[in-house]
Amino acid sequence: MKYFILAFLIGMLSFKPAFAQQDQKQILLEELIKQSENRKKTGLTMMAIGGGAVGLGLVLAASSSDWSDGSFAGGIILAGAGSLAVLAGIPILAGSASKARQAAQLSLTTVRALPPSQTLRGPTTIPSLTFSISLSSSKR
């Protein structure tokens, strides 16, 4: 009876999925896609806010009547800070495309083709068609 209970407990514990059996590739793929979307959103936000700051700074500087006026200096500083924000947003967008490219490479898998049966008489090559989906935002 002891052996039966012991075998039953071992059998029940063996059916529980272990951590090593979880699909780490799928988890990594989802994480890369999430990081790509977050970086893209951050980069676009920085570029939009920076562009608005550049425009507002130039309007403020242009509306100033004198170069020694405070609004001229403030406009130039605002335009400079906006241009820095735009320039900082560019590498963030590039990093987003890089993460999306990594996710695309992980999502592609290779599958072994089964050999044709011996009764099939025809060409030994199997015709195939390959599709490519670009996940980056830039067109090539």
Q: What are the domain boundaries of the chain?
A: 30-107
Read off the pLDDT of residues 84-125 as tens digits, 9 standing for 90 and up.
999 999 999 999 988 888 888 877 765 566 665 555 555 566
Closest CA to 137 of 105, 90, 86: 90
Is the model's pLDDT at 77 over the cut of 90?
A: yes
pTM of the model: 0.57
Average per-residue pLDDT for the chain? 80
pLDDT for 27: 79
